[in-house]
A and B are shown apart, each in its own frame.
Chain A
Amino acid sequence: KAGVTQTPRYLIKTRGQQVTLSCSPISGHRSVSWYQQTPGQGLQFLFEYFSETQRNKGNFPGRFSGRQFSNSRSEMNVSTLELGDSALYLCASSRLPLLTEAFFGQGTRLTVV
């Protein structure tokens, strides 16, 4: 059974640009959550999608957005990149939003220069 797949694995962008990251969940999983991980802040929740609906959003500015498609694949977009957006972006998939195990992808390492 394939795990959670995130693409791309690495990305270098310039300040002011925008970026789109992709996450394909485990087959049969309909819930996808996104997290930002930085050395100082640890894992911070960005948003959660279930059945194409955003059910939850963390405390991030509106430059961070996401969506989920009918096949449960999800994308997140960051516009007007800032240096502070450099981080490891992780997505996790689970069958349901609650009370089910969540599995992480390998992450996308974003560097903003």
Chain B
Amino acid sequence: EDKVVQSPLSLVVHEGDTVTLNCSYEVTNFRSLLWYKQEKKAPTFLFMLTSSGIEKKSGRLSSILDKKELFSILNITATQTGDSAVYLCAPQGGSEKLVFGKGTKLTVNP
């Protein structure tokens, strides 16, 4: 059965801190891994990763995938209060469906 574990489950930091969110997965016939940010309702797409070792970057956010060790990390540098959200990772395997982790709830305090 496909499995996704995100850690930590929740994290409280101060503005300006750097955070690293973890996602380990087990899916059959892995194809890609997607990261989302969910604030109130709709998860917002952040990254899609398909290849190991290639960092994807968008502003202060970056993410990398390790297909050998079956994990991905999402880094956020110089955090801001607007980064407060639940971050979800979702690997996609041969079944085509996205398998979501429970998410990491990030709280950034001023």
Whole-angstrom distance between the alpha carbons of A97 and B96 in the complex?
6
Whole-angstrom distance between the alpha carbons of A48 and B32 in the complex?
17
B103 touches A42 (CB 8 A): yes
Chain A, residues 72-112, CB within 8 Å of chain B (1/0): the string is: 00000000000000001010100001111111111100000
A35-61 residues with Cβ-Cβ distance < 8 A to B are: 35, 42-45, 48, 55-56, 58
Query: If the complex has contacts A43-B88, A45-B98, are A102 and B42 also in contact, measured as CB distance less than 8 A?
Result: no
B45 touches A103 (CB 8 A): yes
A33 on interface, CB distance cutoff 8 Å: yes
Chain B, residues 54-86, CB within 8 Å of chain A (1/0): the string is: 000000000000000000000000000000000
B96 touches A106 (CB 8 A): no
Specify the main secondary structure of chain A where it touches its partner.
Answer: strand
Among A35, A43, A92, A101, chain B packs the most CB atoms within 10 A around the CB of: A43
Specify the main secondary structure of chain B where it touches its partner.
Answer: loop
Whole-angstrom distance between the alpha carbons of A58 and B2 in the complex?
12
B23 on interface, CB distance cutoff 8 Å: no
B31 contacts which chain A residues (CB < 8 A)? 98-99
Q: Which of A4, A43, A55 contacts B96 (CB 8 A)?
A: A55
B100 touches A43 (CB 8 A): yes
Q: Which of B32, B45, B103 contacts A99 (CB 8 A)?
A: B32
Which partner residue on chain A sits nearest B47 by CB separation? A101
Whole-angstrom distance between the alpha carbons of A14 and B97 in the complex?
31
24 interchain pairs (CB within 8 A)? Answer: A33-B98, A35-B100, A43-B43, A43-B88, A43-B100, A48-B97, A55-B96, A56-B97, A90-B41, A90-B42, A92-B98, A98-B31, A98-B96, A99-B31, A99-B48, A99-B50, A99-B92, A100-B48, A102-B34, A102-B45, A104-B44, A104-B45, A107-B41, A107-B42
- Residues of B at the A interface (CB closer than 8 Å) are 31-32, 34, 36, 41-45, 48, 50, 88, 90, 92, 95-103
